[in-house]
Structure 1
């Protein structure tokens, strides 16, 4: 995957002649990509993982002695510079498109888990419930980690912006409540 397209996509969000030199956008977005792919839900933890993992350093183009970008830099860019933009979705879409063009994604093969489960086949033995589903769980988890860190260090909490929530209807088994939810 050629990540160089990121530079052009984020160019409108950076100033070439104001302030101190910024973190290379390629590194920033690759760091967030690592966090997303490996389920690292804390920017502080992401910084530590990159510090110790040579494969991550290689992917980011960092040598063993290069400093790892600070977690607050990732957070500030995500919450301020790219707030209310579609830049993350645009970059993700471009990466998927490149993967498709390189025959890395094609939809020709389907892998499934063949674990045997007891069927919940009685259609009359369930209740309907409406649950709230957060549309941006990853971003929410990052914000929670920031709040916890600020509390631990005696800092006042950041102002929380209200996020859009989606509701989803589910069917919950009344005969086997341990079986979980059937999403619809």
Structure 2
């Protein structure tokens, strides 16, 4: 018999959100790992909230919601809040019941900024890495480093002379014409008037220059997990300088190796690595003036070849972060916020890898 197309809800229901999420859904282990990492951050959550006043959005729910934005390529807070409102899977992951009201997107953004400004994401990243270390998923001897350009949330038209304090010309609509032909522009004389920390940079000779930041990672070579991450301004030396600073933060003093591409084949980076008891397995750039900074005493070993093969995996988190995550182009301004979003994306990568490694 043909069914009747009538929509009529029951007055009462006993269905729980838990029953809508399959037992083998990949978000289940990710949520468990994230909750385990956040247990050690209660002291930090308590320090950034007052003991009196109206209750705000719980920071744990804010973090879960932001991680959803990374894992499901949700482009804005407005769209995120909209989807949490009607997506039962998202409600379950964030920690809302089916009857709980969802926050306004502007309220969510204000509370999100509080977390970004208090380095909560930085502390969470360290807790996720410590959790991976407890599960014996990390190598403590062999690492790889790399950096990538991240497009800033700033228009080329905002890039004007530093001494130009005038208002932009009116007229021409929101996207008025601008002609930079013949004008010499550099980071020494110009800056973005909407994001002062962004700098003009390009991927290589002949490529288009864009207002950008740089993201840096240190990957352990066993399972491809990111153990250190940071964002910086896109200067010419940032890739090597930040990599050396991140390597210096690695725990322990035992002898280690680090793989890297030809951009790291400089006397300064090689010297810094050896001062930290780290053998630099960088790709040799024999075409540079003066030749490569490393010689056959390093490159003749079988371990050097293995490092050069494995270090290419350090590109995978960048590719994942730019296609799935949030780092193809930033939606925040200022180096501190960019750093938090970059590290949040690397947290998403680590949790996804840890879930896969758990089988």
Separation in structure 2 between the aligned mates of residue 5 and residue 161 of structure 1, nearest angstrom: 37
Return the offset for 1:15: 0.2
Range 59-68 or range 165-174, more displaced = 165-174
Return the offset for 1:43: 0.5
Quote the residue 1:87 is aligned against: 120
- Counterparts in 2 of 1:24 and 1:162: CA distance versus 1, 3 Å: same
Return the offset for 1:54: 1.8
Q: For residues 91-110 of structure 1, what are the structure 2 equivalents within 5 Å? A: 91-102=124-135, 105-106=137-138
1:65-104 per-residue CA deviation (whole Å, 9 max, x = no partner) reads 211222222210233x34543222211231233244335x
Quote the residue 1:179 is aligned against: none
Separation in structure 1 between the aligned mates of residue 129 and residue 87 of structure 2, nearest angstrom: 25
- Counterparts in 2 of 1:99 and 1:35: CA distance versus 1, 3 Å: farther
Q: 1:45 aligns with which of 79, 90, 101?
A: 79
Gaps spanning 5+ residues in structure 2: where? 1-32, 140-148, 155-192, 208-262, 264-359
Q: For residues 32-181 of structure 1, what are the structure 2 equivalents within 5 Å? A: 32-79=66-113, 81-82=114-115, 84-102=117-135, 105-106=137-138, 133-134=150-151, 140=153, 162-166=195-199, 168-171=201-204
- Counterparts in 2 of 1:73 and 1:161: CA distance versus 1, 3 Å: farther
Separation in structure 2 between the aligned mates of residue 16 and residue 60 of structure 1, nearest angstrom: 23
Contact 2:84 2:102 in 1 (8 A): yes
- Counterparts in 2 of 1:82 and 1:163: CA distance versus 1, 3 Å: farther
What TM-score, normalized to structure 1?
0.55
Return the offset for 1:37: 2.3
1:33-58 per-residue CA deviation (whole Å, 9 max, x = no partner) reads 11122221200111112122222211
Quote the residue 2:295 is aligned against: none
Contact 1:6 1:25 in 2 (8 A): no
CA-based RMSD of the aligned residues comes to: 3.3
Q: Secondary structure at the match of 2:67?
A: helix
Q: Does 1:30 align with 2:47?
A: no
What TM-score, normalized to structure 2?
0.31
Contact 2:57 2:111 in 1 (8 A): no
- Counterparts in 2 of 1:96 and 1:68: CA distance versus 1, 3 Å: farther
- Which of the pair has more CA radius of gyration? 2
Gaps spanning 5+ residues in structure 1: where? 108-131, 142-159, 175-183
Equivalenced residue count is 128
Contact 1:133 1:168 in 2 (8 A): no
Contact 1:133 1:166 in 2 (8 A): no
Return the offset for 1:6: 3.4
Separation in structure 1 between the aligned mates of residue 101 and residue 128 of structure 2, nearest angstrom: 26
